[in-house]
Amino acid sequence: MAARIIDGKAMAQDLRAKIADAAAALTRTTGIVPGLAVVLVGNDPASEVYVRTKSKAVVDAGMRSFDHKLAAETPEAELIALVGRLNADPAVHGILVQLPLPPPIDATRVLNTIDPGKDVDGFHPVNAGRLATGLPALVPCTPLGCVRLAKAAHPALAGMEAVVIGRSNIVGKPLAQLLLAENCTVTIAHSRTRDLPAVCRRADLLFAAVGRPEMVRGGWIKPGATVIDVGINRVAGEAGKTRLVGDVAFAEARQVAGAITPVPGGVGPMTIACVILNTLRAACAALGVAAPDL
């Protein structure tokens, strides 16, 4: 039987509506509108789309969006100075610097200057450390979305074998930490992993965050497993057009898995919803108000 499709778009819409309600309640009680500053450097077309999508999601949720578009030649010191001003601005509760940053800007140096309390991407070492040690933290948005999608198939993840392919600081590692916190037995696979198909076949929950189109084949999947596909890869389509595919060969995987996320319409929309969720959480923390359990 074909796998159930986990509808990330519908789940994201539902979450965004709840965040908008909670943001409105926060504004009613405190008079403060949560605000997200989005910083884009250069003209990368994909980044421009992401930034527009995030800003629109923020405004749709009744929050304020402060957009800063800087030229590709902007010196690193100028970008860091802008981050400093945003850190000090009480109307800004979240700061998001869109990656990748054009060379020679050092992204790590820039991200490390963001106030950890406003770090809605969760990339600052303070937040990474807090997540790893089980303290409250702002957690990277894509992993947050992935866990929510997995829970749509299995509300209780405890005891499950989870395999995460990819060990980046923005997806693989924080996702593994979240799954550990859910009491999964977690394996992180990467480019040096031996016999990756066999490792994947152990997984009750398989997360692919690799950046290689349709690398994970149907035969790598344990029958009935839940598959969360993080990959976004643009490949040649019909009639000279391009199309998006994930890191999982969807048509094959769907015949074996129990539940699977599509690309597009899976992890992507949940990532955006979690950006505004983190903005709401950062605003609540800044105002000393308990964040709603959404």
9 is catalytic: no
Q: Which amino acid is at 95?
A: I
User: Residues 16 to 55: which contact ligand NDP by CB under 6 A?
Assistant: none
Choice among 98, 118, 177, 204 that is catalytic? 98
Say which of 115, 118, 119, 121 is annotated catalytic. Answer: 121
Catalytic residue check, 54: yes
Per CB under 6 A, 165 contacts ligand NDP? yes
Could you tell me which of 190, 272, 173, 205 has the C-alpha nearest to residue 232?
Answer: 272
96/55 Cα distance (integer angstroms) = 10
- Residue written as token pair 């989005």: 38
Residue 211 in the binding site for ligand NDP (CB under 6 A)? yes
Task: Pick the stretch among 20-28, 107-115, 190-198, 248-256 that binds ligand NDP (CB under 6 A).
Answer: 190-198
Candidates 140, 150, 133, 200; CA nearest to 174 is 140
Q: Is 194 in the site for ligand NDP (CB under 6 A)?
A: no
Q: What are phi and psi of 226, to 5 degrees?
A: -95, 130
In the chain, where does DSSP find H-type helix?
8-30, 45-60, 76-88, 107-111, 125-132, 141-153, 172-181, 196-201, 250-254, 267-287
**Residue 276 lies near ligand NDP (rule: CB under 6 A):** no
Amino acid at site 135: L
Give the interface size with ligand NDP as a residue count (CB under 6 A).
25
Whole-angstrom distance, CA of residue 227 vs CA of residue 206: 5
Q: Fill in the per-residue mask, 123 to 162: x = in contact with ligand NDP (CB under 6 A), - = not in contact.
A: -------------------x--------------------
Give, as ranges, the residues between 214 and 273 that touch ligand NDP (CB under 6 A).
230-233, 267-268, 271
Indicate whether 210 belongs to the interface with ligand NDP (CB under 6 A).
yes
Minimum CB separation from ligand NDP for residue 53, in Å? 10
Helix axes 8-30, 267-287, angle to 10 degrees: 20
- Our answer to whether residue 151 is catalytic in this structure is no
**Polymer length in residues for the chain:** 294
So which residues are the catalytic ones?
A: 54, 98, 121
Q: Which residues in this chain contact ligand NDP in the complex, by CB under 6 A?
A: 142, 165-168, 170-172, 189-193, 196, 209-212, 230-233, 267-268, 271
